[in-house]
Amino acid sequence: MRGMRSWVTSVGVGLVRAFAVVAVALLVPVVWAAAVLLGIAWGPSNPWSWLAPAVLVGVGTLGLSRPVCRTVRFLVARWSSTVIASGYRRPGPVTQLTTGYWWNGFGYERTDRDAVLDQKMRLRWRDPANWRDLRFVVILPVTAGLVAAVPPAGVAAAVLGFGGSGFLANGVGVLGVAVALGSAPYAWRSLEPVAVRFLRPSAAMTLADRVDELTAQRADTTIAQAAEIRRIERDLHDGAQARLVALGMSLATAEKLMERDPERAKALMREARTGAATSLTELRDLVQGINPPVLNERGLVDAVRAFALDSPLEVRVEADVELRLEPPVESALYFGVVELVTNAVKHAQASRARISLTRTGPDLVVVVEDDGRGGADPRSGGGLDGLRRRLAVFDGTLEITSPAGGPTRARMMVPCASW
């Protein structure tokens, strides 16, 4: 009884999935058929009557290719848990240069809007994934679509056969039922191997994506380093340097007043001492902004704990790792934690946060959670996207879960098997 119930269930599920595969596979051929009928209706002997159908075929195929492929990936992932990466090239950040122009990775534009539009058009035509999608919508109807059409064809034969009269019609109906029931559990399964074979990114596309990602990361690193150097120069020029110049002038004046006005000279010496202490504090803060001394001396965990003590939030730090990573990796994770907690204070209005550092298999995982109002958006060019790109330099990832109303959970992962 249980076996019969299972078979009936598989037949029902198979019929539904087979119809779904056929519907998706026939979208583009239906457009082609409509174009042919349109051309015949306008006069097949007139060459100009085929101009509009040809445009319809081109536009319809281009417009449907990505939705069809997206639907196929969704069905394969839903039915077989096989995730097929899309492999589409993602737009890089659009950056304004010191000249005022905007750089989009391909060229310079006067406004950010023009830069974004130009970037989209170039990606649309240069992305090899689009041509792969066009190839797939042509292959799909004659492979998985044709196999999946067997159960629907059996159902159609059964309806026509039992709707007629006579022994032959009944025989066709019985044969249709047998074909539909026998093929339904298996016909839709051809979609997965066909999609994996023709829809996944090729090795060349994967390599090209990796090269593009590394190029973007190199550009980000160059821009970030230049900005950091300008910040250090500005802080030194406006802070410590100005105070040291004033300190020298005060000492010179005090030297001249030492014999004629000792009290005035002592007051200047006291001011100079105060200025020297202030300059020393500013230099220490500046050095800490480059890399906190506790991070260099005691590692990531203690540096995060020290940061938590100074945070305006109630921060709890949990760690079960004591490893020392490469300095660039420790610095990236530390400033990632700092940025996430700072965002919780500035944007999410959080009151508490929890930071956990754990080693999961070969990966180091750092999770930052807060009780704020959520809504964190890792949009392209934003701070969270910049953090994601900094982690990607080390093959790390950043996952953000931040529904409206909160809470926010950020998970940073960096491979550390070789450290």
User: How far apart are the C-alpha atoms of 415 and 135, rounded to whole Å?
Assistant: 36
Neighbours of 139 (CB within 10 A): 16
More confident residue, 336 or 243: 336
Average pLDDT over residues 311-329: 82
207-288 carries CATH number 1.10.3720.10: no
Q: Which residues contact 400 (CB under 8 A, 6 or more apart)?
A: 376, 378, 384, 408, 409, 410, 411
CATH 3.30.565.10 fits 296-415, yes or no: yes
Helix (H) or strand (E) holding 365: strand 363-370
List of residues 6+ apart from 378 with CB closer than 8 A: 384, 385, 388, 398, 400
In angstroms, the CA 370 to CA 405 distance is 12
Amino acid at 259: E
The C-alpha torsion from 127 through 385 and 398 to 198, rounded to 10°, is: -10
Dist. CA 415–CA 79, nearest whole Å: 31
Please check the confidence at residue 292 and state whether its pLDDT lies above 80.
no
Cα–Cα separations (whole angstroms), residue 247 to 192, 253, 272, 286, 335: 75, 10, 5, 19, 34
CB 407 within 8 A of CB 367: no
Q: Does pTM top 0.85 for this prediction?
A: no
Query: Cα separation of 141 and 186, whole Å?
Result: 17
How many other C-beta atoms can be found within 10 angstroms of the C-beta atom of residue 152?
19
For residue 155, the one-letter residue type is V
Using one digit for the tens of pLDDT, what is the confidence trace for 340-380?
988 888 888 888 999 999 888 888 899 999 988 888 877 76
DSSP code of residue 399? E
Q: Which two tokens stand for residue 89?
A: 């090239």
Q: Is the pLDDT of residue 71 over 90?
A: yes
Query: Which tokens go with 11?
Result: 């037949």
d(CA 367, CA 306): 17
Query: DSSP states of 223-275 as a string?
Result: HHHHHHHHHHHHHIIIIIHHHHHHHHHHHHHHHHHHHH-HHHHHHHHHHHHHH
The candidate with the shortest Cα–Cα distance to 196, out of 69, 88, 62, is: 69
Whole-angstrom distance, CA of residue 285 vs CA of residue 370: 27
Query: Could you report the per-residue pLDDT of 73-120, keeping only the tens digit for each?
Result: 999 998 987 888 877 877 777 777 767 778 777 778 888 888 888 888
Please check the confidence at residue 48 and state whether its pLDDT lies above 60. Answer: yes
Instruction: Determine what percent of the chain is predicted with pLDDT higher than 70.
Output: 93
Residue for token digits 């394969």?
76
Give the position of tokens 């300190």: 247
